[in-house]
């Protein structure tokens, strides 16, 4: 039996759910699949758009390919809702493709946690929108949490 754990643990409060969201945001912004995988149970299941994964090896492979394609990736996650062992997140991220086109991806995630605080299920739905360089929200050197999303045009 694994002794891995990742506090805070369910059941979540608003404060601990918010902590999980911002910890995930920081981990994903590291763009380090080997690091990110340890937030998930060894047998974690994912749906990422039309891709279905199970286990850390598949998570690492998926994230490695994702971040090789999505250059200058910058992500923001916000708590949407929570229950005892579930958290819903809204997110936005920007990235540039190999041709230099900028994109913003909008979406929602549904997370379910094991008692040890590791995520055992992740479901993601997202949409990609082409943007111009001048339309970017997350400029170099700007903390993603300092950008006032409420003032942005949807």
What pLDDT band is residue 139 in, cutting at 50, 70 and 90? confident
Q: What is the per-residue burial (b if ≥16 Cβ within 10 Å, else e) of 31-69?
A: bebeebbebbbeebbbebeeeebebbebbbeebeebbee
Give the pLDDT score at 152: 59
- Kindly tell me if the per-residue pLDDT of 47 is higher than 80: yes
User: Model pTM?
Assistant: 0.93
Give the pLDDT score at 151: 60
What pLDDT band is residue 3 in, cutting at 50, 70 and 90? confident
Give Cβ neighbours of residue 80 (< 8 Å, ≥ 6 apart): 88, 89, 90, 108
Give the pLDDT score at 1: 47
Q: What percent of the chain has pLDDT over 70?
A: 95
Q: Is 144 helix (H, G, I), strand (E, B) or coil?
A: helix
For 65-106, write each residue's pLDDT tens digit: 999 999 999 999 999 999 999 999 999 999 999 999 999 999
Alpha-carbon span 122 to 144, nearest angstrom: 22
88 class by beta-carbon count within 10 Å (0-12 exposed, 13-18 middle, 19+ buried): middle
What pLDDT band is residue 143 in, cutting at 50, 70 and 90? confident
Alpha-carbon span 122 to 36, nearest angstrom: 13
Alpha-carbon span 65 to 88, nearest angstrom: 25
- Kindly tell me if the per-residue pLDDT of 36 is higher than 80: yes
What pLDDT band is residue 110 in, cutting at 50, 70 and 90? very high
Q: Is 151 helix (H, G, I), strand (E, B) or coil?
A: helix
Q: What percent of the chain has pLDDT over 90?
A: 88
Give the pLDDT score at 116: 98
Q: Comparing C-alpha atoms, which of 79, 76, 113, 82 is closest to residue 13?
A: 82
Residue 77 C-alpha from the chain's centroid: 7
What mean pLDDT, rounded, does the chain reach? Answer: 94
Helix spans in the chain (H): 14-29, 33-36, 56-69
Class of 14-133 in CATH: alpha beta
Q: Where are the domains of the chain?
A: 14-133
Rounded alpha-carbon distances, angstroms, from residue 129 to 75, 95, 119: 15, 11, 28
């Amino acid at each position: 039996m694994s002794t891995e754990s990742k506090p805070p643990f369910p059941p979540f409060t608003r404060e601990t759910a918010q902590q999980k969201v911002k910890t995930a945001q920081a981990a994903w912004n590291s763009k380090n699949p080997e690091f990110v995988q340890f937030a998930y149970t060894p047998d974690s299941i994912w749906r990422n758009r039309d891709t279905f994964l199970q286990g850390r090896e598949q998570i690492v492979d998926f994230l490695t390919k994702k971040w090789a394609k999505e250059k200058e990736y910058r992500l923001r996650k916000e708590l949407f809702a929570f229950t005892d062992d579930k958290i819903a997140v809204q997110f936005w991220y920007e990235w540039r493709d190999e041709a230099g086109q900028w994109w913003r991806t909008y979406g929602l995630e549904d997370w379910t946690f094991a008692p040890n605080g590791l995520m055992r299920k992740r479901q993601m739905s997202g949409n990609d929108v082409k943007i111009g360089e001048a339309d970017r929200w997350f400029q170099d050197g700007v903390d993603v949490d300092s950008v006032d999303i409420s003032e942005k045009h949807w």
